[in-house]
Amino acid sequence: MAWTWPWLRASGNGGARAELKTATPSGFIALHAQGEARWTRRDYATLAREGFMRNPIVHRSVRLIAGAASAVPWLLYEGADEIVEHPLLDLVERPNPRQAGATFLETLYGHLLLSGNAYLELVEANEGTRELHLLRPDRVTVVADQAGWPVALDHRESAGRRRVTLSDGEGGGALHLTLFHPLDDHYGFPPLEAALMSLDTHNAAGRWNKALLDNSARPSGALVYAPKEGGHLPEDQYERLKSELEDGYSGATRAGRPLLLEGGLDWKAMALSPKDMDFVEAKHSASRDIALAFGVPPMLLGIPGDNTYANYQEANRAFYRLTVLPLVARIAREMSAWLGPAFGEGLRLWYDADQIEGLSAERDALWARVGAAEFLTDDEKREAVGYRPNDAA
């Protein structure tokens, strides 16, 4: 079999000859494909940076939910009896020397909202005391056994890697909290990921507006050279004119500066079309989608154009009933099942809805209805509003 190589003859290559192209060029074909949009990555660090740290809607939504949920008071029950003083209550009130209870819970809710996961570790401190610590989600990996069940957490630190055993129901170890994920067995799904397209749209609209301000707060125009005798600008004059426009007339600090034109030059300003101006409505629409993903009424975030709720009070009550309290109740059940065996059987953590100022109108209406029910005894009325009867006090 003989081979013909397309490169020049040289020593050692067997005397190959160069390939010659003799056909006359007859044009070319350019292939174009539609450009794909670039979306933000879905890992925790990127969502936290592009969302919580750079987007005001995401930042306020997370702070609003985490702040409201962490301010809800907690109660401890043993069976049906409320316990006022207990080491478990002390642990919830002061989880570790660096954080108070509200700060600890705010960080926990923030991890859940931005990552879909929250990792808690129960540490045995000196003299038999216990401490609760949070592990940052991007530093934790779930370890599963041969059957696929999660058994431990790998936590990456600056000093290396350590393994923390997940709780087996007897107390201690670590607790992995997740939000529902339809396609993953071990990790949760963050609400922000469902609104990722709206997040990128909102951030892109902000960058577009900033670029417009930097460009003298108006769209660019065209500098037309049309001399009577025809011709075009020499290369050196073109470069000089271009540099003068960029250095002397662009930027927010040079807005409105008059442009001095020489003979043959004319400035044609380009106005924004209604389609170009639609970015404002697109930004508001993206803001509502982000608020919807987090479960925050747009009225509470100052987003215009949304009249779903009759007034601010109704929106605030819906926010607590539909978003805050279900999240707090879920965390209370998980922590009761995790910490209860370590402190005694039958212990149950719950929240005190009567101490929530945002639900004071509902509480007043309930007390008024129960108080007006003449067919109920005083003990029955107390039970109807969540208090023990007088004879059981």
Q: Which two tokens stand for residue 275?
A: 């389609």
Give pLDDT, residue 106. Answer: 96
**H/E segment holding residue 277:** helix 274-277
Amino acid identity, position 161: R
Supply the DSSP symbol for 81.
Answer: E
Secondary structure class of 97 (helix, strand, coil): coil
Give pLDDT, residue 353. Answer: 86
Mean pLDDT of 200-210: 79
Most confident of 74-83, 86-95, 294-303: 86-95
Lowest mean pLDDT among 149-153, 157-161, 216-220, 377-381: 216-220
Using a pLDDT cut of 70, give the percent of the chain over it.
Answer: 72
pLDDT averaged over every residue in the chain: 79
- Specify whether the CB–CB gap between 131 and 123 falls below 8 A: yes
Lowest mean pLDDT among 64-78, 264-278, 304-318, 323-337: 264-278
Looking at per-residue pLDDT, the higher value among 278 and 355 belongs to: 355
- Specify whether the CB–CB gap between 165 and 173 falls below 8 A: yes
pTM of the complete model beyond 0.85:
no
Give pLDDT, residue 26. Answer: 47
Lowest mean pLDDT among 45-59, 153-167, 204-218, 369-383: 204-218
CA distance 242 to 253: 19
- pLDDT-derived band of residue 3, with 50, 70 and 90 as boundaries? low
Lowest mean pLDDT among 32-41, 192-201, 233-242, 346-355: 32-41
